[in-house]
């Protein structure tokens, strides 16, 4: 069943990713002030949504693990944290590349950038905890608790622009001001990255599940 799900998602993600690339570079117009560098926007925003999905799933299954103590829940949580961290890294890398020509600097301690870096540090700490404790159940419990703590930062990332008046632009609520070509490209990019996210998520889950079986975590 898992293999069928992964194969289906792979068959969906490949043409969607190709389509999104074609739309980004050949269909969506260049932004008149920022030029071609603005096209990073489509991957940057889509990666941010994939990051939220990964950390959200990590938090959901961390809560279930603390309640039920089932290894499968921990594997789901670990997979979400892993893939979420990958896309969080993509956000933190693509952001400065976009910011340099627009803001004139690679990095500024803008509230949204700072809170995004904070959540990266929190979830990276989860990996350090797991490495330190190994197969000790205390490590899984500690990682689950830290994962739930990290979820508190997600609404702060969303609201940071309004709460602290940062310079980072807010995408939500501004779609209507975009040309229709940009909106279509953004929607396709979001869908393609999210489908690709679930490919990575289920592959990662299966890897951690097999790892637990080999090491005796699952009977």
Which pLDDT tens digit goes with each residue over 97-124? 887 887 777 777 788 888 999 999 999 9
Q: Name the nearest CA neighbour of 90 among 55, 40, 125, 147.
A: 40
For residues 88 and 119, the answer to whether their CB atoms sit within 8 Å is yes
User: Hey, which residues does 35 pair with through a beta bridge?
Assistant: 31
For residues 192 and 9, the answer to whether their CB atoms sit within 8 Å is no
Q: Work out the mean pLDDT of the chain and round it to a whole number.
A: 86
> What pLDDT, on a 0 to 100 scale, did the predictor assign at position 50?
96
DSSP conformational letter for 215: T
Lowest mean pLDDT of 10-24, 135-149, 174-188, name the range. Answer: 174-188
* Alpha-carbon gap, residue 18 to 189, rounded angstroms: 10
Helix residue ranges, H only, the chain: 2-22, 40-68, 71-103, 111-133, 137-151, 153-164, 180-214
Sign of CA dihedral 76, 56, 193, 126: negative
Residue 20 in 3-state DSSP? helix
* Alpha-carbon gap, residue 207 to 215, rounded angstroms: 12
DSSP conformational letter for 6: H
pTM of the model: 0.88
Rounded mean pLDDT of 128-149? 88
Confidence of residue 164 (pLDDT cuts 50, 70, 90): low
């Amino acid at each position: 069943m898992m293999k069928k799900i992964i194969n289906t998602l792979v068959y969906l993600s490949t043409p969607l990713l190709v389509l999104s690339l074609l739309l980004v570079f050949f269909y969506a117009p260049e932004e008149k002030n920022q030029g071609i560098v603005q096209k990073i926007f489509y991957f940057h925003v889509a990666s941010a949504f994939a990051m939220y999905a990964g950390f959200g799933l990590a938090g959901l299954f961390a809560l279930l693990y603390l309640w039920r103590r089932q290894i499968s829940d921990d594997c789901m949580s670990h997979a979400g944290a892993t893939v979420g961290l990958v896309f969080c890294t993509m956000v933190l890398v693509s952001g400065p590349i976009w910011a340099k020509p627009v803001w004139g600097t690679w990095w500024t301690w803008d509230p949204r950038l700072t809170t995004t870096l904070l959540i990266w540090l929190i979830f990276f700490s989860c990996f350090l905890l797991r490495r330190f404790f190994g197969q000790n159940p205390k490590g899984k419990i500690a990682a689950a608790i830290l994962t739930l703590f990290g979820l508190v930062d997600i609404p702060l990332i969303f609201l940071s622009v309004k709460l602290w008046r940062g310079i980072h632009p807010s995408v939500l609520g501004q779609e209507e001001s975009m040309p229709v070509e940009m909106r279509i490209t953004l929607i396709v990019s979001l869908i393609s990255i999210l489908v690709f996210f679930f490919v990575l998520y289920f592959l990662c889950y299966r890897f951690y599940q097999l790892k637990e079986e080999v090491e005796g975590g699952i009977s």
